[in-house]
A and B are shown apart, each in its own frame.
Chain A
Amino acid sequence: MTHKTIRTVAAAAFSLALTAAFAPLAAQKPTVVQLKAADKVGAEPKTFLPIVGDWIITTDEGKKVVMVDGRKWKRGQPAASLVDKAREIYGASHEDFIDNVAAFAYYPTAVAKDIDNFENGELTVKFKMIGGALDRAQGIMFNLKTNGDWLCVRYNGTEDNLVLWTYTNGKRNFTKRGTENVPLELGTWHEIKVGIHGIKLTGYLDGKLLIEYDLKEPVNGKVGLWAKTDTMAEYDAFTVIPSAK
């Protein structure tokens, strides 16, 4: 190897190191969780891993979207093959997760498979309420831990509000309600956005800031779609925009 080659390699390595070192400081590329060819209409989604409830791929004006179908909801039913699914997202450390599923089976959830971990940045999802006799609640789940704990910002059409909920050790706790109620029409598309910057959480509905809250600790976990009991809703354009802390 000549000196010139060594200098070139060294420069490239330095450049790579700089890039790696400063990458977290730059806004990172948004990841829109796109449904894939394997996501077949009428079947369970492949891009999202259903943990609780009935999730299917459906079409809305010709576009494939994810739907939670609460019509068959009865006191919470973990998705079929729960053990396999828990193993798929958490490997060997899935036992606590499964133990807690029975407790949080009131909340249909589907984990975004391609997002390994989310700590900081923004999460958005478009949703369309379709129905639900008990609940019309849909939202974004994040900070999903291996023991089944999670955080969620959701909109509930039976209460017309955006709320941050915390789920810890098998118990759901009301954490922060949006500053105003916003009635939304069924059958129309809307957007929830969650911003996480360190322990600072913000929650938006259709671009309007409704929740500001300081979390007890930074976020670190999986993300996905969330619903409650017999909710029927469609979800689209689930987007993750990671950023530096």
Chain B
Amino acid sequence: MRNPAKHLGLAGAAIVFAVASLGAQAKGAPGKSAQGAKCMMPDTTMDWFKSQREWLDDSKHAWTNDTLRVKVMTAAGLDPSKAVAVQYGWTTLELPARDSASAALLRPMMGRAAPFPTRGVAGAGGAHATFLLILRDSTLENAAMHKFMEAGLGEGFETETAMLEDRTRIRAGRGQIYGTVLHAGADGKLVPMRMEDSAHVDLRRESAWLPPLKQSVCAASAGKSAM
């Protein structure tokens, strides 16, 4: 795809790049817009950035199931030897149609006995890969969110657990609370879907290690999902 933005508009391009990002560990989208350039420089002194970076650091190899880690990272199109980049934290609901291979891999992990790829089990890379695979099958979102929430402090990636909660709430007909689920507004620009208590959204985002909403939407409009 040479320049999807030309054919699909910003929103369409964002969706395409979000799909593409399922296999990306960092990096910029091709053809980033001038609007996007403004948000490409996050304040790395902010707590959300430092918290994400610290959580995503796999340099100590502190996981217990390397086989599982490699399995989920490979399935998600990630390189197990590479670090996961800090995330801007947004998705759309138009992400890929249900992917049976991902579902077949993840469904057995939802049981109580099977190991679930949290940080302690499969490293930050394995947990992030699991999140990406979950996005390929919406029927797993709710169960996976609870798995991450109940896994214990530091086991789930709070940024992505928050994103799963937003997706789950939107699908249940409720307002999202972190503003991470975007759609194309009337003018074609990406905007958050219906939110509860938008007045405090950035407070909540801070607690989930998400950048300010404005920055995330800006990055989404430029097709950037990670730094």
User: Footprint of B on A, CB under 8 Å?
Assistant: 70-71, 75, 129-134, 158, 183, 185-188, 230, 232
Contact = CB atoms under 8 A, between A and B. Distances in A.
Given A134-B153, A232-B203, 8 more contacts: A75-B153, A130-B200, A131-B203, A134-B149, A158-B149, A187-B199, A230-B207, A232-B204
Contacts of A230: 207
Contacts of B158: 133-134
B196 interface: yes
A75 B154 CA distance: 10
B207 A187 contact: no
Contacts of A132: 204, 207
A187 B149 contact: no
Contact of A187 (B153, B174, B196): B196
A19 to B, nearest CB: 49
B162 A133 contact: yes
Interface string B183-226: 00000000000001111100110111000000000000000000
A189 to B, nearest CB: 11
Contacts of A75: 153
Contact of A131 (B161, B174, B175, B204): B204
B197 A71 contact: no
Nearest to A129: B197
Contact of B206 (A71, A134, A158): A71
Contacts, number: 46
Given A131-B200, A134-B153, A185 B175 contact: yes
B203 A71 contact: yes
Chain A interface main SS type: loop
Give the interface residue-count category, chain B: 10 to 19
B196 to A, nearest CB: 5
12 contacts: A70-B207, A71-B207, A130-B197, A131-B200, A131-B207, A133-B162, A185-B196, A185-B197, A187-B199, A188-B197, A230-B207, A232-B200
Contacts of A183: 174
B196 A186 contact: yes
B197 A133 contact: no
A175 to B, nearest CB: 20
A227 to B, nearest CB: 13
Given A185-B175, A185-B197, A130 B204 contact: yes
8 smallest beta-carbon distances between A and B, as pairs = A187-B197, A131-B204, A186-B197, A133-B208, A186-B196, A130-B200, A133-B158, A71-B207
Contacts of B177: 131, 186
Nearest to A106: B153
Contacts of B174: 183
A133 B196 contact: no
Interface string B164-194: 0000000000110100000000000000000
Contacts of A129: 197
B69 to A, nearest CB: 24
Contacts of A158: 149
Contacts of A186: 177, 196-197, 200
A2 to B, nearest CB: 71
